[in-house]
Structure 1
């Protein structure tokens, strides 16, 4: 819901006119502004205040909590529309366009940016000065984005481009190791499942040393590990268990240790089977087979590949499989109830989509929520998602349904019914 608030008679007329242009989501509360704003605040997705910036700040200051949960707030005066709080830049631009005023947006390196959202969406760590890179994007400088594995991304600012002659910054989204370079931001998604095999009694240091081979010889960034995997018989091997815990300590994270029976591992095709391992374990591979089967277990029907064949060092064998990214299709219902009953998850999916597909009446309900640069289409959602894009398919009511399998990650965000 968009609340449009005004204290003066002229402001209330302007608020009513704006609400009519913003669509069915917009409401103009009756009565004094302060109690109405306090009453509606928990239900607001956005708020427009016809007031000068100082007055608007005093009104909202007691209500603010954090940028993730606060509604986007803008204030309107005779010349400007100012983004004051929350995620309000897109709303400020939209209201300014409707009212023929100048938008003043405030996203900067100190607040959450598209880069912060990327880290969360990709389950990633970052290497580099994210604040300085965000500042370059906000300043309109050319920033080159490299995405060699093809992760589905949201709409990005026009100055973030796939190629540029003299970029101020470069963003690389990859799970492979690379030296840190000046003015380069590396985003490292957690895509790897590392298989581990060993003899009995190996030390955690020996396992950690073997893992380093995945970086030095295999060219993989160990911050990209999503899980470790081994045979059931190695589930209580102290060297492996302790090495996994140490990885979590050094990376300030946790990774599950998956275990599989030798019967299961024996069915996994690997490039480097070993008769010695078969004779001792009952399966021709532990490290490669566990990595591949672990990745298959976690990929939710997607594709995997062997990212690093096995390395052996000090009686420890390691290998890594990669969960390959694929497109994302969010089926978003806008609900038959009022706009304030729409879930935050639905609005989050709309913002992470590069394409929003749906009928005009549904698009009009949520246009103000979309990130600048989001492409709007009437059809073709499945094809776009299967091609690797991040897509939201929207409908009024409980939401769209898919009768046939889709080669993409599909999430369902149902409509919210009126109680």
Structure 2
């Protein structure tokens, strides 16, 4: 819901603006202060026909944090001023409607953006997040390196894919790299590690072999999503204990997936072993289990062998990678008002680099858009197939797809069901 608040003298202007903002905009009756307080929990955006000082005093007691606060702007005779929340895009939109000058002061919400990016990618951040955040908010040039092409949300304009003299570098990758000053590494959990061992191999031996994924395989161990082995090794103490040890030292847990040797025998691997085939009925345990586990976790998406097998102290390990794909969220705006939208729907709209829909649907979600989000009226499937994070918004129960899309498609209930 967009709340447009004004005193008696400007209620007509407020009603005109609400009409331009669309069906989600309301002009509450009565005094401004109690009206704002009563509606605040339900508001996605707030327009105050007040001077900046009065507007600040009114909303200051209601603000909690920049991530959850609504976008707040105030309007005077010449300007539309961003006051709180993620208000940059909304401020410019209101200014365009009223033919006034936008004054953007809120910044790009970089702190929450980086936090949400780590959460969205199921990743670990390695580096000084606060210092990188400060550099972005100061408008300094920051280079983004995304070699595996993870679908990312809209980023501030000073975060660029390439450039010279950057003060910071953000790297989104699952491969190992030495820590460097002014480099923030975001390590998504993309890897499934296949493990095989002789009977009785110790947890120390298995753990030592796993560590070789860093030194020999060039992979960051924090990127491990799961481990995998043959079902006949499911109760092997060395493997089970090593997986538990990994979780303890990394402050995380990873599932140990097991698969019948008959399944593993059907998986093509680059390094089959006749010795293993004769003893276990499959030519590979580590490589085949890694690929089978990645296929399971990736839900049919593309995978690859990230590290071929290597052996140490009667333990064999290999790693497979679940490759990133574009993301297409289908968000139904429903027939209901904005306050009925689910938090999941709003989160998917905010995380998208591209929001696609009719002009009316785009107008309805404009207060939710981050600065830098690109708006399109068609081409959602093509954008997602090229690896982008896309939200397709439509009125009604939700958009549907007639053809399959080479991307992760998420159907989001857009409104609460009653």
Structure 1 length-normalised TM = 0.92
Q: Is the 8 A contact 1:336 1:418 kept in 2?
A: no
- Is 2:103 the partner of 1:103? yes
Alpha-carbon distance in structure 2 between the residues aligned to 1:225 and 1:169: 26
Gaps of 5+ in 2: none
Q: Deviations over 1:79-114 (max 9, x none)?
A: 6645444333332343344442342433478x7332
Q: How does 1:399-418 map to 2 (within 5 A)?
A: 399-416=398-415
Which secondary structure state, in structure 1, belongs to the residue aligned with residue 144 of structure 2? strand
Structure 1 pair 180–35 and aligned structure 2 pair: CA distance change class (3 A)? same
Gaps of 5+ in 1: none
Alpha-carbon distance in structure 2 between the residues aligned to 1:243 and 1:83: 53
Alpha-carbon distance in structure 2 between the residues aligned to 1:355 and 1:214: 36
Alpha-carbon distance in structure 2 between the residues aligned to 1:11 and 1:17: 10
Deviation at 1:55, TM superposition (A): 4.5
Which secondary structure state, in structure 1, belongs to the residue aligned with residue 209 of structure 2? helix
- Is 2:124 the partner of 1:125? yes
Which secondary structure state, in structure 2, belongs to the residue aligned with residue 335 of structure 1? coil
Deviation at 1:416, TM superposition (A): 3.0
Deviation at 1:59, TM superposition (A): 3.9
Deviation at 1:239, TM superposition (A): 1.9
Question: Which residue is equivalent to 1:381?
Answer: 380
Deviation at 1:58, TM superposition (A): 4.8
Moved more, 220-229 or 358-367: 358-367
Structure 1 pair 375–23 and aligned structure 2 pair: CA distance change class (3 A)? same
Question: Which residue is equivalent to 2:137?
Answer: 138
Deviation at 1:369, TM superposition (A): 2.1
Q: Is the 8 A contact 1:266 1:283 kept in 2?
A: yes
Structure 1 pair 200–80 and aligned structure 2 pair: CA distance change class (3 A)? farther
How many residue pairs get aligned? The number is 417
Q: Deviations over 1:118-151 (max 9, x none)?
A: 1111111111111221222222221111111011
Question: Which residue is equivalent to 1:323?
Answer: 322
Alpha-carbon distance in structure 2 between the residues aligned to 1:277 and 1:54: 76
Q: Deviations over 1:369-402 (max 9, x none)?
A: 2222222222221111111111122211112111
Question: Which residue is equivalent to 1:4?
Answer: 4
Question: Which residue is equivalent to 2:195?
Answer: 196
Q: What RMSD over aligned residues (CA atoms) do the two structures have, in Å?
A: 2.2
Deviation at 1:77, TM superposition (A): 4.9
Q: Deviations over 1:325-349 (max 9, x none)?
A: 1111111111111222122222222
Deviation at 1:407, TM superposition (A): 1.0
Q: Is the 8 A contact 1:337 1:418 kept in 2?
A: no
Which secondary structure state, in structure 1, belongs to the residue aligned with residue 111 of structure 2? coil
Which secondary structure state, in structure 2, belongs to the residue aligned with residue 283 of structure 1? coil
Question: Which residue is equivalent to 1:161?
Answer: 160
- Is 2:299 the partner of 1:296? no
Alpha-carbon distance in structure 1 between the residues aligned to 2:417 and 2:293: 43
Structure 2 length-normalised TM = 0.92
Moved more, 297-306 or 394-403: 394-403
Question: Which residue is equivalent to 1:243?
Answer: 242
Q: Is the 8 A contact 1:155 1:353 kept in 2?
A: yes
Structure 1 pair 237–34 and aligned structure 2 pair: CA distance change class (3 A)? farther
- Is 2:259 the partner of 1:260? yes
Alpha-carbon distance in structure 1 between the residues aligned to 2:87 and 2:360: 23
Alpha-carbon distance in structure 2 between the residues aligned to 1:223 and 1:267: 29
- Is 2:204 the partner of 1:187? no
Q: Is the 8 A contact 1:295 1:321 kept in 2?
A: yes
Moved more, 125-134 or 12-21: 12-21
Question: Which residue is equivalent to 1:28?
Answer: 27
Deviation at 1:52, TM superposition (A): 4.8
